[in-house]
């Protein structure tokens, strides 16, 4: 039979900290980011920046010149989808990222205000979703979309 009576002078009283330390795994003291590495591809940040740019009122399209023309042809082909990353270039580092955008603004929208709204929206989206610090967002306005550009070639002045 086992003796269950405590012997004098051998009793141990545990503090709350000692009890918690005994019952918790040792690795819980390490921060989660010290247990592995997360890398974010440039294309991931490009897609986020492209979506955030398209959400801004006054942005008609992204891309410049030839890229926009070829992209428009691809979109019209059966099964073609719009390219989210057209007109977006991103450089991703370990902790920071930089974004370059080529945009087409709708006529009537103040370009300076649209560019500021694009910067705000892109910075918020990229930083929130990736945790990277956005050091700059460069907006190049390559064209302005005029209302009559929509039906180009459809209407004739004289019938």
What is the CATH topology of the domain spanning 39-64+84-145?
Answer: Alpha-Beta Plaits (3.30.70)
- Runs of H (alpha helix) within 33-138: 42-54, 65-76, 111-130
Helix axes 42-54, 111-130, angle to 10 degrees: 140
- Let me know if 60 is exposed, middle or buried by CB neighbors in 10 A (0-12, 13-18, 19+): middle
Q: In Å, what is the CA distance from 51 to each residue of 18, 47, 153?
A: 51, 6, 30
Residue 30 clears pLDDT 90, i.e. is over it: no
pLDDT in tens, 101-141: 999 999 999 999 999 999 999 999 999 999 999 999 999 99
């Amino acid at each position: 039979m086992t003796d269950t009576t405590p012997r004098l002078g051998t009793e141990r009283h545990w503090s709350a900290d000692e009890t918690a330390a005994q019952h918790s795994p040792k690795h819980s003291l390490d921060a989660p980011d010290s247990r592995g590495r997360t890398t974010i591809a440039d294309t991931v940040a490009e897609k986020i920046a492209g979506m955030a740019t398209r959400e801004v009122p006054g942005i008609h399209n992204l891309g410049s010149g030839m890229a926009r023309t070829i992209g428009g042809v691809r979109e019209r082909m059966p099964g073609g989808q719009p390219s989210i990353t057209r007109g977006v270039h991103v450089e991703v580092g370990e902790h920071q990222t930089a974004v370059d955008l080529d945009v087409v603004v709708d006529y009537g929208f103040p370009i300076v205000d649209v560019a500021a709204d694009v910067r705000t929206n892109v910075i918020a989206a990229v930083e929130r979703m990736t945790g990277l610090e956005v050091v700059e967002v460069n907006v190049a306005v390559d064209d302005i979309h005029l209302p009559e550009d929509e039906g180009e070639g459809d209407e004739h002045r004289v019938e």
